[in-house]
Chain A
Amino acid sequence: DIQMTQSPSTLSASVGDRVTITCRASQSMSKWLAWYQQKPGKAPKLLIYEASTLRSGVPLRFSGSGSGTEFTLTISSLQPDDFATYYCQQYLSYSLTFGGGTKVEIK
């Protein structure tokens, strides 16, 4: 099984900050990585797929990069609506794995 390691697990930041979350895979998965945002009591929301493609309707302050085994999600200027938990997920095959999550908190 592919293991996904996200860091940090918690991040404290202020509105307007640039935020970066990292996801490392236990083996290469090319571009087959997605990022999700989840708010308390809600279902996750897909933000980015294929490592760097922004899903339609997602604000441009979100971006993804990386390939192989190391990937990042960047929020260029943190907004109040962005305080949430973020998950990476690999889909190299029809056996998915999520990262452990990164909770973005208000500083």
Chain B
Amino acid sequence: EVQLVQSGAEVKKPGESLRISCKGSGYNFPNYWIAWVRQMPGKGLEWMGFIYPADSDTRYSPSFEGQVTMSVDKSIHTAYLQWNSLQASDTAMYYCAREDEVLRPDDMKERGGLGYWGQGSLVTVSA
């Protein structure tokens, strides 16, 4: 069974650093893209970026480039999202999600949406 298990809720002060995690199991972790998605209180979903664990290829949304760092330790099947200096506006639920692959009859693979999600990590930043 594919599972993504995220680290727990965090309460931090502005200016502090933080790293949250997302551990994958039940599948070939290195070979599937992992996305990070932000959801601010009462708001919609925002894609933050992708990381490919096999080679750490990373794609950031322009809105989040320079604000966060995505990394991965493929030896322990874990992806990370890191902030160096949190702001109150970073208060949100953060989800990791795995992108599905669809295998075609000719053995070509196509992308299939974010099929598996972690349970979310709530980050609260308050003085």
Interface residue ranges, A against B (CB under 8 Å): 1, 32, 34, 36, 38, 43-46, 48-50, 53, 55, 87, 89, 91, 94-101
Contacts and interface: CB of A to CB of B under 8 A. Distances in A.
Nearest to A96: B47
Nearest to A35: B113
A87 B111 contact: no
Contacts of A98: 37, 44-47
A44 B44 contact: no
B114 A89 contact: yes
A89 B113 contact: yes
A95 to B, nearest CB: 6
B115 A55 contact: yes
Given A43-B118, A94-B33, A49 B112 contact: yes
Given A32-B111, A36-B45, A89-B45, 4 more contacts: A43-B117, A49-B102, A50-B113, A99-B44
Contact of A43 (B62, B95, B99): B95
9 contacts: A1-B62, A43-B120, A48-B113, A49-B115, A55-B113, A94-B50, A94-B59, A96-B50, A101-B44
Interface of B: 33, 35, 37, 44-47, 50, 59, 61-62, 95, 97, 99-100, 102, 110-115, 117-120
A38 B115 CA distance: 13
Residue of A55, A87, A96, A98 ringed by the most chain B CB atoms within 10 A: A96
A43 B45 contact: no
Residue of A44, A45, A99 ringed by the most chain B CB atoms within 10 A: A44
Nearest to A1: B62
A32 B59 CA distance: 18
Contacts of A1: 62
A1 B62 CA distance: 9
8 tightest Cβ-Cβ pairs between the two chains A and B = A34-B113, A49-B113, A43-B117, A96-B47, A98-B45, A101-B44, A94-B59, A49-B112
Contacts of B99: 91
Contact of B113 (A91, A99, A101): A91
Contacts of A49: 100, 102, 111-113, 115
